[in-house]
């Protein structure tokens, strides 16, 4: 039940703000939380806490933040043989503003993440042996992600792309993807269609299928998630929670989804598991600090089991 995550690792700086700033506006915040993050590292931790064996492939600087992130991943039980060091670049950083409703704005300085090359990925190919799911994002170079997805497909793995942050990608990327997992904004950018409702998500997802991926799963925050495949669409409701910080909710969703698929669960069974994980993440502040354990996810699912939802064992 192995998951291989190829992606970014950052040091996150999070500030609570009374409202998210507009263009040219300065807003005074309260509190500063420094934590480990990066979409790739977050998703790796989420998958590991969900019970999967996880290997992380990425790049860090030869600096204290990079060393701390590597130690943290190892402490989580994640394989870090592919977490490479670049002496010429700093470890990536993310700057996050969070409003009272838990909504956020994020700016990322990629640092060493931007130096993860296709050659680096090829050198790490032995780490894919025995893997069942390959999970990638877009905080590292597109050419590297393309090679990662192709390598996963060649190794017989299920390839998942979380196209975050939103960026245009070519058809060669879509054709290497088994499951595309965008949020509303990412789906809208990729499909060049507005996405503000479940119905609009379905239209955008259908267009993305035309680009070559096998299935599209649009995450819609409080509206849940929509799975679209050729000739079928299925909506999965969200788990209502009191949200305080949405940071890493999408990463929790993707990592737990990958873990559930890696243990052999059908996609339709894995999605509620991922929805529950994303919801729980919103109830705590921070990135990796907020990612739930498998037991916590199962407990939330069982509380809603009276509605007919079966929690994984």
What is the DSSP secondary-structure string of 102-119? S-EEEEEE-GGGGG--HH
Other Cβ atoms closer than 10 A to 150? 18
Burial 84-114 (b: 16+ CB within 10 A, else e): bebeebbbbbbebbbbeebebebebebbbbb
pTM here is: 0.92
Q: How far is CA 266 from CA 178, 208, 272, in A?
A: 14, 22, 11
Domains and CATH numbers, the chain: 2-9+38-91+112-307 (3.40.1190.20)
Main-chain phi, psi angles of 158, to 5 degrees: -80, 125
The encoded tokens of residue 36 equal: 């480990």
Q: Measured between alpha carbons, how far is 31 from 286 in angstroms, rounded to an integer?
A: 12
Q: Residue 306: its pLDDT value, please?
A: 52
Task: Kindly write down the DSSP assignment for every residue of 164-182, as one continuous string.
Answer: -S-----HHHHTT-SEE--
What is the model's pLDDT at position 313? 52
For residue 74 the two structure tokens come to 């190892």
Of 99, 120, 251, 295, which one is the catalytic site residue?
A: 251
Residue found under tokens 């192709």: 150
Per-residue pLDDT of the chain (313 residues; tens, 9 = 90+): 599 999 999 999 999 999 999 999 999 999 898 989 999 999 999 999 999 999 999 999 999 999 999 999 999 999 999 999 999 999 999 899 999 988 889 898 999 999 999 999 999 999 999 999 999 999 999 999 999 999 999 999 999 999 999 888 888 899 999 999 999 999 999 999 999 999 999 999 999 999 999 999 999 999 999 999 998 999 999 999 998 888 889 999 999 999 999 999 999 999 999 999 999 999 998 889 999 999 999 999 998 875 444 455 5
Rounded CA-CA distance 70/79 in Å is 10
Spatial distance between the Cα atoms of 234 and 251, rounded to a whole number of angstroms = 21
251 has catalytic annotation: yes
The closest of 91, 87, 46, 98 to 70, measured between CA atoms, is 91
**Residue 106 and residue 112: Cα distance in Å, rounded?**
18
What is the distance between the alpha carbons of residues 120 and 6, in angstroms, rounded to a whole number? Answer: 11
Give the other-Cβ count within 10 Å of 202's Cβ. 18
Q: What is the CA radius of gyration of the chain?
A: 18
Q: Can you name the residues that pair with 109 across neighbouring β-strands?
A: 93
What pLDDT sits at residue 285?
86
Please list the residues that pair with 10 across neighbouring strands. 37, 92
Count helices and strands in the chain by DSSP H and E runs: 10, 13
Instruction: Count how many Cα atoms sit within 13 Å of the Cα of residue 49 in the half-sphere of its side chain.
Output: 29
At which residue do the structure tokens 């039940």 appear? Answer: 1
So what's the pLDDT on residue 73?
98
Answer for the pair 246, 282: CB distance below 8 angstroms, yes or no.
Answer: yes
């Amino acid at each position: 039940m192995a998951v291989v995550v190829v992606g970014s690792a950052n040091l996150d700086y999070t500030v609570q703000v009374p409202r998210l700033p507009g263009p040219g506006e300065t807003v005074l915040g309260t509190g500063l939380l420094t934590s480990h993050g990066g979409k790739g590292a977050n998703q790796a931790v989420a998958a590991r806490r969900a019970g999967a064996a996880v290997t992380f492939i990425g790049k860090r600087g030869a600096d204290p933040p990079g060393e701390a992130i590597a130690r943290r991943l190892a402490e989580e039980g994640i394989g870090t043989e592919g977490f490479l060091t670049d002496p010429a670049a700093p470890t990536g950083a993310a700057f996050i503003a969070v409003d009272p409703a838990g909504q956020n704005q994020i700016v990322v300085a990629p640092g060493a993440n931007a130096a993860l090359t296709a050659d680096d990925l090829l050198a790490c190919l032995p780490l894919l042996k025995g893997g069942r799911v390959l999970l990638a994002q877009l905080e590292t170079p597109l050419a590297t992600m393309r090679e990662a997805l192709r390598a996963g497909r060649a190794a017989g793995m299920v390839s998942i792309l979380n196209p975050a942050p939103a960026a245009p990608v070519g058809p060669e990327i879509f054709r290497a993807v088994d499951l595309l997992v965008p949020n509303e904004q990412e789906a809208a950018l990729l499909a060049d269609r507005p996405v503000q409702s479940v119905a609009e998500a379905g239209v955008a997802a259908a267009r993305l299928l035309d680009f070559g991926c096998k299935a599209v799963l649009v995450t819609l925050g409080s509206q849940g998630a929509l799975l679209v495949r050729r000739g079928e669409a299925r909506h999965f409701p969200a788990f209502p929670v009191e949200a305080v910080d949405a940071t890493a909710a999408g990463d929790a969703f993707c990592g737990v989804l990958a873990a559930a698929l890696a243990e052999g669960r059908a996609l339709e069974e894995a999605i509620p598991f991922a929805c529950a994980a994303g919801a729980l993440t919103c109830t705590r502040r921070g990135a990796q600090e907020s990612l739930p354990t498998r037991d916590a996810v199962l407990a939330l699912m069982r509380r809603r089991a009276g509605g007919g939802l079966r929690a994984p064992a």
